[in-house]
Chains A and B, each alone.
Chain A
Amino acid sequence: MYNYRMVTDDLYWVGADEHRLALFENIHPLYHGVSYNAYVLLDEKTVLFDTADWAVGRQFIANVKAVLNGRPLDYLVINHVEPDHAASIEEILLRWPKVKIITTPKAVTLLNQFGFGLDPNQIEEVKEGDTKSFGKHTVAFVYAPMVHWPEAMVTFDTTNGVLFSADAFGSFRSLDGKLFADEFDFDREWIDDARRYYTNIVGKYGPQVVALLNKAASVVGLDNIKYLCPLHGPVWRKDLGYIIDKYTHWATYEPEEKGVMIVYASMYGNTEAAAEVLAAKLTARGVTNTRLYDVSSTHVSYLISDLFKYSHLVLASVTYNLGIFPPMHNFLMDMKALNLQKRTVAIMGSGSWAPRSGALMKEEIESLKNMTVLDEEMTVTSSLKADNESEIDALADAIAASIKGESK
């Protein structure tokens, strides 16, 4: 049974939801599923924009068939070849062998590498800025290299202002019968998933996202974009400024909010207790926008996501094998991999005989770009004691002053 929805005149969403996948990209946990979006344009020619993961192949094909309603499929535009979108290409080729594939030269190379064995005669390679008319609708192709793969492009329908944005503006979470962002309370239900998707998957490529946003503004004109049709998550047709603003923050590594994220690594609860004390002391100083996370029990994708949101970070870690506690180390490595920048960081090391974690964490943080490490560092030997109160007070003072923008 088909299950498609109309996006706007001539354009239909033919994607599908996936609820059974536990780990997106086999790394990021999913609790509310994910959608694989694809779109069919019915013009003088019929056009399919991207395909879907093989896991939802049957539903996807059923939807395409239903929308085409017996018409042949003339074109397949491939904006992004990652297998969660391209896996069903083969099925499309089997069913509509005459379909012409429109994509970038690099995408062709990758598709061949993935083993799709495309016939060169059915490929139309496009260059940056090329346009193509399907009848009423004329689309322009804009390269989006390294957002977050090198072959990616976005396609803009100049007739109705639809931007097929590939993985840009995508999100975790399944659509569950709805389609548009304005059909949800996005800022309450979705933003965290959208942020976690962007920061963990595209986070490293801020400069390229900025380049794409600039290109969109200059080539297309942001006002001319009426619909954002990403490959995951809801379609945007209202309040596009909201999500573009979020993207601007994330891509430039600017925090969304003043707030403190405390991440601790604790083996027996002593470092945890110190982190709790610090959080309480921050509250006492009027800093209440705080989040406290146990690095061992929180998947790093959530930590990264919040880190892109908040301005301040406290790292509290026990020393383990004369190094940083491994899950904390993993978090630091992920920050580095994802190019995190522009945060103010306070360091609390701990250990019982050779506490080195503080110095090592500081070293890692300082190897990132544009980071500020507060001078007030402290080391907890085994457990926090009354002796240390002045130190933790100084630390809390420094964080509070920094949050409030006072230079101490």
Chain B
Amino acid sequence: MLYQTTQEHEELRAKVREFAETEVKPIAFMLDQNNQFPTEVVKKMGELGLMGLPYEKEYGGAGADALSYAIAVEELARVDGGVGVILSAHTSLGTYPIYAFGNEEQKKKYLPDLCSGKKVGAFGLTEPNAGSDAGGTETTAEDMGDHYLLNGEKIFITNGGQADTYVVFAVTTPGIGTRGISALIVEKGWEGFTFEEHYDKMGIRSSATCQLNFNNVKVPKENLLGKEGQGFKIAMATLDGGRIGIAAQALGIAQGAYEAAVEYSKERVQFGKPICQQQNVAFKIADMATKLRCARFLVYSAAELKQAHAPYGMESAMAKQYASDIALEVTNDALQIFGGCGYIKGMEVERFYRDAKITTIYEGTNEIQRVVIASHILGKAAKDTSAAPAQQKGPETGARKRLILKDGTAQEKVETLVANLKKDGHDFTVGIPMDTPITQAERVVSAGQGIGEKKNMKLIENLAKAAGAAVGSSRPVAETLKYVPINRYVGMSGQKFKGNLYIACGISGAIQHLKGIKDASCIVAINTNPNAKIFKNCDYGIVGDVMEILPLLTAALDTGEKQPAPPMVKMKRMVPKKVYQPRKLYVCNGCGHEYDPMQGDPENEVKPGTAFKDLPEGWTCPHCGEPAEAFIEIEA
């Protein structure tokens, strides 16, 4: 046992190294400075056969092993950590779930383009409230029969915006935690699927990272990966393998920094000799090399285990954790060897130093890696069963249609809005006086701080007139700006609007305000910021400037003099389909206790979700000790 790579591995390494040094190295500083994705480089990586290394030839892959893939990432990262992670995220995260969990049709449809590099893949799991804890996933995929309706947002997505296919995780069954998460293949360009600007990152700046937004994205049923509810399993299995890629990336970054430092230490002369001849520096280099060798063995071994289909979850966690931890140490030492020169932009070690940091954070923080490793050794820590699956808190104003109009001209957006309102039954030939008390008003046009100067209130008044509505405002507009009397602001502490139509103009949607309109039948939001909270709380939204939209909307609603509105008939608001499935409960004949499979039996360590028939042998009622046979089944 020599712990050596094969000749093929070394040939591949030489090929990738050459590519990296000739194609990437010259532009690495520029990519870093410009926060620029190397589209051409990625294309060439595809031509070189790097984009599908560990996948079978029948799907367009190179048919190489996991170690080859790790070496490729390592070699790219040795020159540019960002390019390394492009390949890693593409191969391990974007492609692997389809390869491992896709059905034959999905594999045939997506893998050849991904493996050839014609298309780039990405993976969408992380959310603002679901980082290390995927159970907090808030993105939803509602079953609409032949498709899912995807809504939510994903953050920190590597290859975001550049990738063509995304494996996205969303809740298909709310309220049951990770077991309610499913994996979907989503394609770039689908309606409602948009990207935010790339983050301005500390390091790996040549890789693209951005937020994904899903607004009523229709995902065909055939794009479900595996079965409903398997998403968490798929994500975890994918991340097991993904760690090898990140470990290889960390290793490559450290290797690059190390080599640069060795080189420099031989050239730099102080006290009459190269600094490498100072024991101080020599020992540093010795330590760096030792750490690299340890890390490399861990990474390669994990890759080999994966290739051999042996258990490798713990080993890949160890590799990722160790390689990234020492990447920080090695890049730090390398920069120290460079001294002040290493602190200047344009020096590779400066970039390596910044690039390294992310590797202890993403694809499972190193803290989580230690959780994984410890759980393999010590068994899973007892789940805090008192914490039922996190209660998903919906929008403050309850279920809303959330039809957000972002595309098209302002005129088109306004026309679509008005058509929808009319379809819903709002009759704009009638109206109420503009000074109707908010609590009695059927319609209110409300101004937020986004309205700007006081003279713009004229736009609000005109719209109110055209819409047959009263005028309201957010709290600051009444209290601070004093554009309207204090009794006209809407909110928890102000007036509550319970009428049929609320048009929020330039209102961002502070919780206080939203609480005052939660009983509105229909909420329309107009705001320039597509991320304003009001858009998550409205039925219709127009992303646009009030200065432009309000006059258009006024014109579209204007019917001349309004007839006095008849007494208000409260319109039904959007009611979400109740996710209530009749289910079986089991009642104990010994005491009346109900066994609910959704809740399990914490006292007897029976997990939530355990069917009655799957109760462990010898299970007895937690309260009176009767056996399972003494339970009668009821429908609830």
Contacts and interface: CB of A to CB of B under 8 A. Distances in A.
Contact of B572 (A150, A375, A391): A375
A369 interface: yes
A145 interface: yes
Nearest to B626: A150
B636 A370 contact: yes
Interface residues of B, number: 21
A80 interface: no
Contacts of B624: 150
A221 to B, nearest CB: 22
Contacts of B498: 391
A129 interface: no
Contacts of B439: 387
Nearest to A145: B589
A208 B626 CA distance: 15
Interface string B130-143: 00000000000000
B590 A146 contact: yes
B358 interface: no
Nearest to B624: A150
Given A207-B587, A211-B632, A370-B636, A146 B567 contact: no
A196 B262 CA distance: 90
Nearest to B498: A391
Contact of B587 (A148, A208, A370, A394): A208
A121 interface: no
Contacts of A204: 592
B591 interface: yes
Contact of B590 (A148, A150, A376): A150
A146 B568 contact: no
B589 to A, nearest CB: 4
A205 B592 contact: yes
A375 B590 contact: no
A390 interface: yes
Contacts of A390: 440, 567-568, 570
Interface string A195-224: 000000000110110010000000000000
A208 B634 CA distance: 10
Contacts of A208: 587, 589, 592, 632
A207 B632 contact: yes
B575 interface: yes
A386 to B, nearest CB: 10
A146 B589 contact: yes
Contact of A394 (B570, B590, B636): B570
Interface in B65-117: none
Interface in B523-578: 567-568, 570, 572, 575
Nearest to B582: A370
Nearest to A390: B568
A145 B632 CA distance: 11
B630 A145 contact: yes
A394 B571 CA distance: 11
Contact of A387 (B440, B572, B592, B634): B440
A207 B634 contact: yes
A387 B591 CA distance: 51
A150 B636 contact: no
A208 B593 CA distance: 12
Nearest to B572: A375
A146 B572 contact: no
Contacts of B592: 146, 148, 204-205, 208
Contacts of A148: 592
A376 B573 CA distance: 11
A208 B589 CA distance: 8
Interface string A384-399: 0001001100100000
Nearest to A386: B440
B24 to A, nearest CB: 58
B425 to A, nearest CB: 15
A208 B591 CA distance: 11
Contacts of B572: 375
A46 B636 CA distance: 46
Contact of A150 (B568, B589, B634): B589
B591 A150 contact: yes
Nearest to A369: B636
Interface string A303-319: 00000000000000000
Nearest to A379: B496
Contacts of A394: 570
Interface string B410-450: 00000000000000000000000000010110000000000
B396 to A, nearest CB: 13
A391 B499 CA distance: 11
Interface in B589-625: 589-592, 624
A205 B626 CA distance: 17
A135 B437 CA distance: 85
Interface in B481-517: 498
A148 B632 CA distance: 15
A380 B293 CA distance: 73
Interface in B437-484: 437, 439-440
A390 B575 CA distance: 21
Nearest to A393: B567
Contacts of A207: 587, 632, 634
Nearest to B587: A207
Nearest to A370: B636
A369 to B, nearest CB: 5
A390 B432 CA distance: 16
B447 to A, nearest CB: 24
A370 B634 CA distance: 13
A276 B587 CA distance: 40
A400 B541 CA distance: 36
Contacts of B590: 145-146, 150
Contacts of A369: 636
20 contacts: A145-B590, A145-B630, A146-B587, A146-B591, A148-B592, A150-B590, A150-B626, A204-B592, A205-B592, A207-B632, A208-B587, A208-B589, A208-B632, A211-B632, A370-B636, A375-B572, A375-B575, A387-B440, A390-B440, A391-B498
A-B residue pairs, 10 tightest by C-beta: A145-B589, A207-B634, A150-B590, A369-B636, A146-B592, A207-B587, A146-B589, A394-B570, A205-B592, A211-B632
Given A205-B592, A370-B636, A387-B439, 16 more contacts: A145-B589, A145-B630, A146-B589, A146-B591, A146-B592, A150-B624, A150-B626, A204-B592, A207-B587, A207-B634, A208-B589, A208-B592, A375-B572, A376-B570, A387-B440, A390-B567
